[in-house]
Amino acid sequence: MLGKRLDYQVEENKIHFFFEKEEAFLEVITESIMNVFVPYETKGHRSKAIEGEKAVRTDFEVKDCGSYVSVATKQLEARVYDGFYVDFYRDGKSICEDYRSGRILRPLLSEKSLEVLKAEGHDVSAGASGSYPVQTVKKMDGDEKFYGLGDKTGFLNKRDYEYENWNSDIPQAHTDSYRALYKSIPFLITLKKESVYGIFFDNTYRSYVNLGKENQAYFYYGADAGNLDYYFIAGDTMPDIVGGYTYLTGRTPLPQLWTLGYHQSRWGYDSADCIKKVAGKYRELDIPCDTMHFDIDYMDGYRVFTWNEKDYGDPAGTIQELADEGFKAVCIIDPGVKLDPGYEKYDEGIAGDYFAKTPEGEVYVNAVWPGDSVYPDFGQPKVRKWWAENQKFLTDIGVAGVWNDMNEPASFHGELPSDVVFTDEDQKSTHAAMHNVYGHLMSKATYEGLKEQTGKRPFVITRACYAGSQKYTTVWTGDNQSLWSHLQMAVPQLCNLGLSGLAFAGTDVGGFGADCTAELLCRWVQVGAFSPLFRNHSSNGSIYQEPWQFGEKTVDIYRKFVELRYRLLPYLYDLFAECEKTGLPIMRPLVLHYEKDENTWNLNDEFLVGEHLVVAPVLEQGQTKKMVYLPEGIWYDFNTGKRYEGKQYYLVDAPLDTCPMFAKAGSMIPAYEVMQYVGEKPYDTLNMLVFPGEGTYVHYQDNGSDFAYQDGAYNEYTFTQQENGEVTMKMGKEGYDKPYKKIEYIFVGK
């Protein structure tokens, strides 16, 4: 790698190493986090994911041990060898070592073989891969399980798969073999028999992760360019690792309460009348709904920050009509600005030099929905400010949230060339470097604009993002399909997004593309009801998939689970309050809290909601029974109260209207009265669902809207249950002036 070590210097928290071929750095960030850095391209980090100084004063010891230099805190030791090989230890035991022997590359296919494969239509893009300009290879001991990496397809445990981090607009049906999707979150949790650790590879170029597929002796991370810049995160448990990663990259902030309600959307609601009819039908059928989404047709010729008055009427009037019935409006905004002299936003961008350019200095043009379009250069602070100010067009007419789409960035005339000129804050850059953070920076600008103009907690949705985007936006998994395999994939996909810091995430309930069925929709709403973002969305050209399209039975089942969602709103809100403090997601794989239990390592069809609820949805067509694994402890059926001993499997009944759910012994779950939308009536009464066993639960309450909670305007209620079933409540914090008028206890189970 870098040759022999010549010298080193300790510079505050950094140890500066001098090798024959290159300089390198090891920085102590905290007692359990260290940064490994080789400045191949820039001297500094220039991170988009990490904002502010994260290194804190930490006691550590540096010792020259001859063949290596030891850098040790109370929690973590790094041993730095010649070549800048870095091994990590805890309590004197190795937990992660660099692989010394070199990668064993797959042989190249001959030109003849490639031509034959291409002729028959095979994808040959995953051919042999050589060593990358930026690369780190880690030894595998054989017992590794891998989690995280954002929205990658496939199963919960990523062992034996390979992936790329390159935000990609892929409308085809996503399968297990897809290496890249819409998001690039290069964060990996490695679970071993005796240890657990995380690595965050902070490099925005196209990068590659191979988790034992190339060779069972190692896993690797490589990138096309940039610095070698990764953070090693140690801890005792998986929650420690998630906490360390979100300490670095930021945590999902507390959202407005209405955003946790049910959302309805479709690309194909092509007029205001259509949207109002759908909204009215939800009220007629008493299916709770908070939000109607406006897809691209509401714009005038797909020009961003305009309104199609011909089909959608007066914008403020249309949105007010929905508001009168309790609906919020969320509007889509794409980054592509129509090339149209005389169109205000295009003219402003040209005058302000806001758009990406060719290497020759011309404004770069591709095509998206408006036709020929240009791309805002969000790496420029002045462009983000301009984009933030443009949100005023939406907020002035009453729009409550913004849905950012097509921001990989997508393009209809081939991918943007790698040498298109963008900006990285104060210096010129390229599409190759800025592609993966384009959606991140667009979301940041949108968030800041909404916050400035409304004073409320912004609701932003994005399709494309990077590590750290959770500070600004919720996400959905993009253009899924109405396929049972995509319902099955939703559980591990959302769980891994949560482990990757993106706690506010969801899939399109029912599937976006293709045609849904009644049974598939009934099973999907049973997953959606527990997903942080709960939205039914479908594509133009597919059959409509509002529940009433499938008959009365489907309506009744759909209503049942949407109502369950609204009952559980205070529990979900509590989990978001916890997430802002700890980084722990709302929807969690069982392995997060039961990592020593090998039955959880590859559990793809169940999940936890917080620590207190196990949800085991049916994900197979025609299935009316479910094999459920319950981890250690005592569990109670959420609906019947039946008692179960943990650490074993059960075959339970699961007819179409039933989703198996289990509460842990001692759980106390807060619930509200069902309303048709958040704010229909005041939440004066809190119901506590109490399950047998000792336990403590802290419930959080604030105004559900603005940032007053950051100044102490919130209440905390601490509930304690004794073994004999006696429950007491004590106010731990009284800062919100509308406490509950009544708290009722509902005892479930024996």
CB atoms within 10 A of CB 108: 12
Residue 160 to residue 154: CA distance in whole angstroms: 11
Supply the DSSP symbol for 283.
Answer: H
The beta-strand segments (E) located in 419-560 are: 421-424, 427-430, 460-462, 465-466, 474-476, 505-506, 508-509, 534-536
Q: What is the dihedral of CA 731, 733, 739, 745, to 10 degrees?
A: -30
pLDDT at residue 7, as a whole number: 97
How far apart, in Å, do the first and last CA atoms of the chain sit? Answer: 63
pLDDT at residue 126, as a whole number: 57
Residue 121 to residue 117: CA distance in whole angstroms: 6
What are the pLDDT digits (tens) for 159-175? 999 999 999 998 899 99
Token couple for 10: 């300790």
Establish whether the linkage from the previous residue to 409 is cis, with ω within 30° of 0: yes
The string of DSSP letters for 588-610 reads E-GGGT-TT-GGGTT--S-EEET
| Ramachandran class of 348: left when φ > 0, alpha when ψ lies in -120 to 50, beta otherwise | alpha
107: confidence class by pLDDT, cuts 50, 70, 90:
confident
Cα–Cα–Cα angle for 255, 258, 263, rounded to 5 degrees: 110
Backbone φ, ψ for residue 16 (5° rounding): -95, 115
The helix or strand, by DSSP H or E, that contains position 394, with its residue range, turns out to be helix 392-396
Q: With contact defined as beta carbons under 8 Å apart, do 384 and 378 qualify?
A: yes
pLDDT at residue 361, as a whole number: 98
**Rg of the chain (C-alpha set):** 26
Token couple for 329: 């409006």
Q: With contact defined as beta carbons under 8 Å apart, do 187 and 207 qualify?
A: no
What are the pLDDT digits (tens) for 333-385? 999 999 999 999 999 999 999 999 999 999 999 999 999 999 999 999 999 99
Q: Which positions are annotated as active-site residues?
A: 405, 408, 479
DSSP 3-state assignment of 128? coil
pLDDT at residue 1, as a whole number: 79
Q: With contact defined as beta carbons under 8 Å apart, do 233 and 452 qualify?
A: no
| Ramachandran class of 160: left when φ > 0, alpha when ψ lies in -120 to 50, beta otherwise | left
pLDDT at residue 114, as a whole number: 81
119: confidence class by pLDDT, cuts 50, 70, 90:
confident
Residue 384 to residue 391: CA distance in whole angstroms: 11
| pLDDT greater than 70 at residue 129 | no
Residue 740 to residue 690: CA distance in whole angstroms: 18
| pLDDT greater than 80 at residue 124 | no
Work out the average pLDDT over 218-237.
Answer: 98
Residue in 13, 196, 187 with CA at minimum distance from that of residue 88 = 196
120: confidence class by pLDDT, cuts 50, 70, 90:
confident
The pLDDT mean for the chain works out to 97
Q: How many percent of the chain have pLDDT more than 90?
A: 95
125: confidence class by pLDDT, cuts 50, 70, 90:
low
CB atoms within 10 A of CB 454: 17
pTM of the model: 0.97
What are the pLDDT digits (tens) for 191-211? 999 999 999 999 999 999 999
The string of DSSP letters for 14-79 reads EEEEEESS-EEEEEEEETTEEEEEE-SS-SS---SS--S--------EEEE-SSEEEEE-SS-EEE
Strands 207-210 and 162-165, by their bridges, are antiparallel
What are the pLDDT digits (tens) for 284-320? 999 999 999 999 999 999 999 999 999 999 999 999 9
Q: With contact defined as beta carbons under 8 Å apart, do 524 and 514 qualify?
A: no
pLDDT at residue 418, as a whole number: 98
CB atoms within 10 A of CB 187: 29
CB atoms within 10 A of CB 696: 10
What are the pLDDT digits (tens) for 322-341? 999 999 999 999 999 999 99
Domains of the chain, each with CATH number or no CATH: 5-249 (2.60.40.1760), 257-334+384-409+427-582 (3.20.20.80), 587-664 (2.60.40.1180), 668-747 (2.60.40.1180)
The beta-strand segments (E) located in 362-438 are: 366-368, 371-374, 401-404, 421-424, 427-430
117: confidence class by pLDDT, cuts 50, 70, 90:
confident
pLDDT at residue 130, as a whole number: 80
pLDDT at residue 101, as a whole number: 92
pLDDT at residue 111, as a whole number: 83
The string of DSSP letters for 681-713 reads S---EEEEEE-SS-EEEEEEE--SSBSGGGGT-
| pLDDT greater than 70 at residue 481 | yes
What are the pLDDT digits (tens) for 536-586? 999 999 999 999 999 999 999 999 999 999 999 999 999 999 999 999 999
